[in-house]
Amino acid sequence: MTTSTAPGKIYLFGEHAVVYGEPAVPCAIDLRARVHATQRDDDRVRLSASDLSLDGFTIEYDGDQNARPDINVPENLVSAAVGYVNGAIHQARDLAGGSDTGLELTIESDIPLGAGLGSSAAVTVAAIDAVARELGATPDAETVAERAFQVEAAVQDGEASRADTFCSAMGGAVRVEGTDCRRLGEPDLPFVLGYDGGAGDTGQLVAGVRQLRETYDFADTTIGVIGDLVERGERALDDGDLDEIGRLMNFNHGLLVALGVSSRTLDDMVWAARDAGALGAKLTGAGGRGCIVALAEAADVATALEHTPVCERAFEASLTPDGLQQE
Ligand code: MEV
């Protein structure tokens, strides 16, 4: 058996705009997905998952993805999850020289699905690595990141950036602008996350922004403004200026609201965190439902979120330097 793990992430700045070539700065956080891969004697694939959203998920199929698990999770999330894992197996088999050996895969994840914390990227990165190694290949983290991006782009109908997958593979804070992906380092940033218990559909949300951008010039301008803001954010990160980082997170949230990807639950949690003294708060990831990230040391912020009716769970998270790893 081979086991690989990869972290989830939050976006400090730049989600959505990064799809159109603007820069973004995601940061890996200390919530991880773990994938165990074992070769089988036949050519079938059996996938089991135990995580916050897919507890008890077990599916056995012959690679055609026809089978569907009988669980209480929206169909689109299940299809996406199976799509990511299937794509990861395909990429890993390719890295291993085209093997068609059957596989037993078990996924364990601390990262809620579709909540803006990069669960699909973490599972895809860890799955490519675990399966490739189980089949005898030894890809480096950059290669796995690029293969994982190909999987995300296919599942999201070609509309994906390299941000989530590169961040998960490399760990730390990273900067992604088109094909230019760089690790920025490991700034000491205290985060509090609020989770509304829901999930956004990344493909749909990305398509919604694209439509807005095609309809209104000023939506395209908004995307450019997010890019400008990210450049300022990078300078604030370099200077260790947490107050400025917080202000820019607030600004970034406002622009994401304008692009139509926030929601009442996300906005309520953002305001609860700000009212409790967070330096800044914004939605993270595709939006719709899921998580907000607040820049805050104060335990008061987690407590305030816990008392916010729409918040199902609040927890502290910190940046992790550890990207893809083998166990
Ligand atoms: C989703 O986690 C982040 C988006 O920017 C999409 C992407 O970058 O692929 C919304």
Q: Is residue 106 over pLDDT 60?
A: yes
Ligand 1: residue whose CA is nearest its atom 8: 161
**Residue 50: helix, strand or coil by DSSP?**
strand
164 CA closest ligand 1 atom index:
2
Please tell me what DSSP assigns to residue 234: H
**In Å, how far are 44, 79, 171 from 104, measured between CA atoms?**
8, 19, 27
Fold of domain 190-318: Alpha-Beta Plaits (3.30.70)
Q: What is the pLDDT of residue 138?
A: 97
159 CA closest ligand 1 atom index:
9
Q: What is the pLDDT of residue 58?
A: 55
Ligand 1: residue whose CA is nearest its atom 9: 160
**Residue 239: helix, strand or coil by DSSP?**
helix
The model's pLDDT over 73-103, given as tens digits with 9 standing for 90+, comes to 566 666 777 888 899 999 999 999 988 889 9
**Looking at per-residue confidence, does 148 or 199 come out higher?**
148
Cα–Cα–Cα angle for 262, 268, 269, rounded to 5 degrees? 90
What CATH architecture applies to the domain 2-185?
A: 2-Layer Sandwich (3.30)
Task: Write the burial class of residue 243 (CB in 10 Å: 0-12 exposed, 13-18 middle, 19+ buried).
Answer: exposed
CA-CA distance, 308 to 193, in Å (whole number)?
A: 13
Asked if residues 34 and 130 have their Cβ atoms less than 8 Å apart, the reply is no
Whether the model clears a pTM of 0.75, i.e. scores above it, the answer is: yes
Ligand 1 mean position to 158 CA, how many Å? Answer: 12
Asked if residues 153 and 133 have their Cβ atoms less than 8 Å apart, the reply is no
Q: Where are the domains of the chain?
A: 2-185, 190-318
Asked if residues 108 and 46 have their Cβ atoms less than 8 Å apart, the reply is no
Phi, psi of 66 (to 5 degrees): -75, -35
The model's pLDDT over 65-81, given as tens digits with 9 standing for 90+, comes to 455 554 455 666 667 77
Ligand 1: residue whose CA is nearest its atom 2: 285
Ligand 1 mean position to 320 CA, how many Å? Answer: 20
Q: What is the pLDDT of residue 55?
A: 46
CA-CA distance, 138 to 129, in Å (whole number)?
A: 8
Which residues are within 8 A (CB) of 247 and not within 5 positions of it... i.e. 6 or more apart? 279, 280
**Catalytic annotation, pick one of 164, 180, 196, 217:** 164
Q: Is residue 203 over pLDDT 90?
A: no
**Among 9, 10, 18, 213, which is best to mutate for testing ligand 1, by the most ligand atoms less than 8 A from CB?**
18
Q: How high does pLDDT run on average in the chain?
A: 91
Q: Is residue 140 over pLDDT 90?
A: yes
Percent of the chain with pLDDT over 70: 91
25 pLDDT band (50/70/90 cuts)? very high
Q: Is residue 60 over pLDDT 80?
A: no
Ligand 1 mean position to 102 CA, how many Å? Answer: 31
Which residues are within 8 A (CB) of 67 and not within 5 positions of it... i.e. 6 or more apart? 59, 60, 61
Ligand 1 mean position to 105 CA, how many Å? Answer: 26
Q: Is residue 31 over pLDDT 60?
A: yes
Instruction: Write out the two tokens for 158.
Output: 């070609």
